Amino acid sequence: MLFSWWKNRRRRRILAETFPSAWLEILRTEVGHYHVLSQPDCAKLRDTIQIFIAEKDWEGCRGLEITDTVRVTVAALASVLILGLHDFYFENVQTILVYPSEYVVKQKHAIVGDLALHEESERLGEAHSNGPIILSWDEVQANAREPGFGENLVFHEFAHKLDMRNGEFDGTPDMPTRDLAERWSRIMNDEFRRLQRAERNGRKTLIDPYGASDPAEFFAVVTECYFDAPQAMRAEHPVLYNLFREYYQQDPAAWPAFPDRAVR
């Protein structure tokens, strides 16, 4: 109770500050989604950005300087996901690490006994259940400036954090009702299998075939598509689109259309 009171008081103080004009210019020049939101949603987005930036720890990696452009762009895209979610500001994200471009992660895979295979893997981003979000700035900036491809790294990694809110990493975030939870399980399983079949048969898909790897990745790539190619998704996957509209409490297909760049 005391923590909630203190948190709300602190947020009221943050929102009492005028939204910086420099940040507004960054939104206008760097974040394509800002131009398709309604005026009320733009105002809510600016409020969410202020809280988001103030409450997160930001760290540049491999020499990257964390500028206002980095903070505002990442915060804006993450905030798009939660415009319809009540009083949630990604409290399960404390630290955001940003690399200038893709980065390398060393991995160790046990083979048998004491034998293990060591390899390096190039990454654009990661979301850790009890750790940070990691992002590649080159990819973030490109996605932000040119929406419409159905791909967005920030949407993807922060969708994983939504998935993790209930302690699981299985493609099923917290559901507001039992009815939605039951329909979510059925529809997501059907659509996941549909993507797997298309991927096996080499068919092009609107939804990134990377989502065929497991249900958690499926939820993340569908989130990318939902917010970055919404008109195409509604046309090709209407049942899945309506399911995500119920969960996110937004209707991005009603926004003015992005340039239609998504590959079908």
Question: What confidence tens digit (pLDDT) does each residue in 199-245 have?
Answer: 999 999 999 999 999 999 999 999 999 999 999 999 999 999 999 99
CA 64 to chain centre: 22
Q: Where are the alpha helices (H) located in 82-136, listed in sequence order?
A: none
Question: What confidence tens digit (pLDDT) does each residue in 131-168 have?
Answer: 899 999 999 999 999 999 999 999 999 999 999 999 89
Average pLDDT, the chain: 92
Distance CA 72, CA 49 (A): 7
Please state which CATH class domain 2-254 belongs to. alpha beta
> Per-residue pLDDT averaged across 115-129, rounded?
76
- For 258: left if phi > 0, alpha if psi spans -120 to 50, otherwise beta; the answer is beta
For 260, how many CA atoms within 13 A lie in the half-sphere containing its CB?
8
pTM, two decimals, is 0.93
> Per-residue pLDDT averaged across 24-32, rounded?
98
pLDDT band at 117 (very low <50, low <70, confident <90, very high): low
Q: Indicate the residue type of 27.
A: L
Q: Indicate the residue type of 22.
A: A
Distance CA 88, CA 111 (A): 42
Distance CA 98, CA 218 (A): 24
Q: Is the pLDDT of residue 41 over 90?
A: yes
pLDDT for position 114: 59
pLDDT for position 119: 67
| Contact in structure between 136 and 126 (CB atoms under 8 Å) | no
Residue spans per domain, the chain: 2-254
